[in-house]
Amino acid sequence: MACPSRALSYLFPTRSKLNTRSQLTLLKPSYSSLRLSSPCVISSLRSSCLCVICKGLEFRAKASMAEVKIQKGKTNLSVFDSEEVLAVSLAKYTADLAEKFSTERGAFTVVLSGGSLIKSLRKLVEPPYVSSIDWSKWHVFWVDERVVPKDHPDSNYKLAYDGFLSKVPILPGNVYAINDALSAEGAADDYETCLKHLVQRKVIDTSEASGFPKFDLMLLGMGPDGHVASLFPGHPLVHENQKWVTFIKDSPKPPPERITFTFPVINSSAYIALVICGTGKADAVQKVLGKDQSLDLLPAEMVSAEGELTWFLDKAAAPKL
């Protein structure tokens, strides 16, 4: 549906035409402010999202029981009242994409990060999703992995296995962990070779635009410094444009040795969700989604999906927007 006036009529169903800040303030003082500086599209309005903000477009509504998803170009942005509400929405988003790709391609390739993302996927292992999803179609990968044994507390595989994979019937052969017997360099090469085989078998799609593998869904977290995967601000790896998978031995976030997908692979994805919660992320969120136009891009600012990029924020991560 078109925005702004139509969108506002959904927020204020008693009035059919609202398109200026003054009208909004007049009608509903609790909605703190509204400024629309470019056209946008609102794709849905549901319960429990707090507000939405997008570059070139600012929309602030202090409603605790409304979810407004704003789409600008290929980017969606939602700010949720709490991480709990975000987790509900993330489960539906993921389940819907799993169904779409399982039907269209006969496979669903999903890429996980480490960190708090895994906890935010917890609703997928609960009804209705745990029994409604066709888990046999899932192929699971990691956008980055720490070079440690799979049973090490730092392992992203272990984190995902304990919190998610062990609770759903994904085929063990469809879970692609790194070879933890290898060095960082060896593990990166080995993982890239594994991806190449899966591309040949068409389990993983290929981007016609870039020639890089095209994953169906990439679920990314972001560090307080704005890093994604193991691509850190100011590190030369952010510019790698040949390899699919590379390695780092001096990660500023411990442990130091990791492998990571490169930006050409990340940005060839059909769908990307950036899932960001907590006050510790507020500064980076402000830099990435606020008005800062500096040329010095954080890795999170370099993320773009071939299909659609969706930001899932809780309100703790978004007070500065």
* Interatomic CA distance for residues 85 and 49, integer angstroms: 8
Strands of 73-169 (E only): list them. 75-80, 108-112, 138-142, 144-146
Alpha-carbon distance values, 232 to 13, 158, 199, 300 (Å): 45, 23, 27, 9
Smallest gap from residue 11 Cβ to ligand 6PG (A)? 31
Nearer to ligand 6PG, 71 or 89 (CB): 89
163 binds ligand 6PG (CB under 6 A): no
Stretch of 17-25, 218-226, 288-296, 304-312 contacting ligand 6PG, by CB under 6 A: 218-226
69 binds ligand 6PG (CB under 6 A): no
Partners of 261 in beta bridges: 245
229 binds ligand 6PG (CB under 6 A): yes
Q: Measured at CB, which residue is nearest to ligand 6PG?
A: 115
Q: How many residues does the chain have?
A: 321
Q: Tokens representing 194?
A: 């594994």
Q: Tokens representing 294?
A: 């500096």
β-strand 67-72 against 41-46: which pairing, if any?
Answer: antiparallel
213 binds ligand 6PG (CB under 6 A): no
Smallest gap from residue 199 Cβ to ligand 6PG (A)? 22
Stretch 80-119: interaction string toward ligand 6PG, x if CB under 6 A: ---------------------------------xxxxx--
Residues that bind ligand 6PG (CB under 6 A): 113-117, 144, 146, 156, 221-223, 227-229, 253
